[in-house]
Amino acid sequence: MDKFLLVVAHDQDNGIGANNDLVWSLPEDMAWFKSLTIGNEFRSENNVVIMGRNTWDSIPDKYRPLSDRFNIVISRQPRHMLNITRDTYLCGSIESALELANTLSTGDVFVIGGASIYEQCIDMPNCAGIYVTKVVGNLSTCDVYFPYYNDTFRNEQVFKSGRKLDLKYTMSVFTK
Ligand SMILES: NC(=O)c1ccc[n+]([C@@H]2O[C@H](COP(=O)([O-])OP(=O)(O)OC[C@H]3O[C@@H](n4cnc5c(N)ncnc54)[C@H](OP(=O)(O)O)[C@@H]3O)[C@@H](O)[C@H]2O)c1
């Protein structure tokens, strides 16, 4: 299996969302996520994004599937039970989603959540890195969390940081 990358935005307690939504509004992170996952404009192949069914459901209709990327949704339910578009791939397991990703594209494979998918992927040997946006501020309490990762993913490379109203954010990648 080829390597893949996790992409997450979490708060100071590793919280990533509540009520199947995010608990912040940060256009800078949306733009970062888009440019990161769409990737290199000089490469002809699209990258792949893999997500759990709840995360798919949390994306507004007008933004789904995520443009210029192969979208794979993971669910144990049959296609007709789900609100997924024709041009979106459906897989019944994480392993089959990762295998399909490698057959669809030689580009990068990004696993974009949510909590249950991160939890199952983070200890896989082929999980090569975690792109993290750390958001700090006075935020609502989350009901889903990203796993603790600092023992395994120790090397941090910071790309940018900034401030938006009462939120501070830092975008980095952590590798083993
Ligand atoms: N801050 C961030 O970066 C970020 C990123 C993404 C998501 N989120 C947040 O995370 C939350 C969603 O996370 P979540 O844990 O509730 O849901 P999720 O991981 O997005 O999706 C869970 C669903 O995925 C399917 N699934 C999970 N493991 C599976 C497996 N091994 N085989 C087959 N299907 C599997 C199941 O779908 P079925 O029930 O259909 O079988 C399961 O109910 C939301 O609050 C969202 O906003 C935050």
DSSP string spanning the chain?
Answer: ---EEEEEEE-TT-EEEBTTB-S---HHHHHHHHHHHH--TT-SS-EEEEEEHHHHHHS-GGG-SPTTEEEEEE-SS-GGGS---TTSEEESSHHHHHHHHHHH-SS-EEE---HHHHHHHTTSTTEEEEEEEEEESS-PPPSEEPPP-TTT--EEEEEEEEEETTEEEEEEEEE-
| C-alpha distances out from residue 50 to 65, 79, 106, 109, 137, Å | 11, 16, 15, 8, 28
- Mean pLDDT along residues 121-132: 98
17 Cβ inside 6 Å of ligand 1 = yes
pLDDT for the residue 91: 98
Does the pLDDT value for residue 15 go beyond 90?
A: yes
- Mean pLDDT along residues 74-91: 96
- In the block, tokens 């940081």 appear at 161
Q: How confident is the model at residue 88 (pLDDT cuts 50, 70, 90)?
A: very high
Contact call for residues 72 and 66 (beta carbons, < 8 A): no
Average pLDDT, the chain: 96
Does the pLDDT value for residue 42 go beyond 90?
A: no
For 132-174, how does the pLDDT look when each residue is reduced to its tens digit (9 = 90+)?
999 999 889 999 999 999 999 999 999 999 999 999 999 999 9
Closest C-alpha residue for ligand 1 atom 34: 75
CA distance 23 to 45: 33
69 Cβ inside 6 Å of ligand 1 = no
74 Cβ inside 6 Å of ligand 1 = yes
Prediction pTM value: 0.98
Closest C-alpha residue for ligand 1 atom 7: 114
Residue 58 Cα to ligand 1 middle (Å):
10
User: Does domain 17-175 sit in CATH 1.20.1050.10?
Assistant: no
Does the pLDDT value for residue 50 go beyond 80?
A: yes
Closest C-alpha residue for ligand 1 atom 31: 93
For 98-119, how does the pLDDT look when each residue is reduced to its tens digit (9 = 90+)?
999 999 999 999 999 999 999 9
What 3 state SS string does 55-93 have? Answer: HHHHCCHHHCCCCCEEEEEECCCCHHHCCCCCCCEEECC
Q: Where are the domains of the chain?
A: 17-175
Ligand 1: nearest atom to the Cα of 17: 45
Residue 128 Cα to ligand 1 middle (Å):
20
16 Cβ inside 6 Å of ligand 1 = yes
Does the pLDDT value for residue 44 go beyond 80?
A: no
Does the pLDDT value for residue 64 go beyond 90?
A: yes
Share of the chain above pLDDT 90, in %: 93
Ligand 1: nearest atom to the Cα of 57: 20
